[in-house]
Amino acid sequence: MAIAALVFDAYGTLYDTQSVQTEAERLCPGKGELIAQLWRMKQLEYSWLRSLMEEYRDFWEVTGASLQFALRAAGVEPDGFISTRLMDNYLHLDPYPEAPEALAGLAGRRLAILSNGSPKMLDALVQNSGLHRWIETAISIDVARTYKPHPACYALVEQALDVRRRDVLFVSSNGFDVAGAKAFGFNVAWIRRASAEPAGEGLVDPTAFYRMLRGRAEELGHAPDYIVSALTDLPGLL
């Protein structure tokens, strides 16, 4: 496969958005798991709502608004201390354990990020995690003033890296992002981190519910070219 650049989604692909759960549980005992799942689901929903309403706000503001929703939905009245500590977590998300090894294994290739994150968020996250050693550039959709999966977001890759879409391998664990990138014309690898088992009988916990909703391929007719279980599988594709 002739690939000129590998472009990674950030949140949920290189970085574990669920790593906020530890701090959420410390600040809100017994509710950390629920808050973490609600926060991420509402964060994505608000990005799509902002796009459809054509009322763009950067991802820091979207993330803050979705946190307020999640806290109140979980029965926690937001205050400055809790909100500040949890928002700061988004600048220090844990990379997935295999991310450094995978990126090191791809050394010599052009590696970039395309993310909903604002420039401030991405710059801090990439530096704080140490992944800046391998990432050439972190491209924010902020320039397009809309959110993935809008085609204008993926078009930023061609402009920033001076590559053709057919020469890009786009890597994401998010089904909506996979569908959007494939519809745009990228080669796409889906990181299927965990299988989403069908619901059994009885109540479903928040994490299982999130996996059922976000851990499956979307039924939109834009299947990925490759399905792998970890970032370290990528060098084998090339």
Decide which of 71, 89, 107 is a domain's last residue: 89
> Within this chain, do residues 146 and 109 fall inside the same structural domain, yes or no?
yes
What range does the domain containing 233 cover? 5-16+93-198+207-237
d(CA 51, CA 15): 23
Beta-ladder partners of 11: 15
The whole-number pLDDT of residue 219 equals 84
Mean pLDDT (the chain) is 92
> Within this chain, do residues 85 and 117 fall inside the same structural domain, yes or no?
no
> Within this chain, do residues 128 and 84 fall inside the same structural domain, yes or no?
no
Which residues are annotated as catalytic? 9
Burial class (CB in 10 A: 0-12, 13-18, 19+), 194: exposed
Domain of residue 113, CATH code: 3.40.50.1000
> Within this chain, do residues 85 and 116 fall inside the same structural domain, yes or no?
no
Residues 220-229: what's their mean pLDDT?
92
CA distances from 53 to 70, 181, 198 (A): 21, 22, 33
Q: Is the pLDDT of residue 215 over 80?
A: no
pLDDT tens string 140-173: 999 999 999 999 999 999 999 999 999 999 999 9
> Within this chain, do residues 114 and 33 fall inside the same structural domain, yes or no?
no
> Within this chain, do residues 71 and 182 fall inside the same structural domain, yes or no?
no
Give the pair of three-digit tokens for residue 186: 């990228």
Model confidence, pTM? 0.91
The whole-number pLDDT of residue 220 equals 86
> Within this chain, do residues 182 and 107 fall inside the same structural domain, yes or no?
yes
| Residue 10 near residue 138, CB atoms below 8 Å | yes
- Number of domains observed in the structure of the chain: 2
Higher pLDDT, 155 or 201: 155
Place of tokens 């792998």: 228
pLDDT tens string 98-131: 999 999 999 889 999 999 999 999 999 999 999 9
> Within this chain, do residues 181 and 110 fall inside the same structural domain, yes or no?
yes
98 SS3 class: coil
Q: What are phi and psi for residue 140, nearest 5 degrees?
A: -95, 140
> Within this chain, do residues 216 and 116 fall inside the same structural domain, yes or no?
yes
Decide which of 89, 113, 144 is a domain's last residue: 89
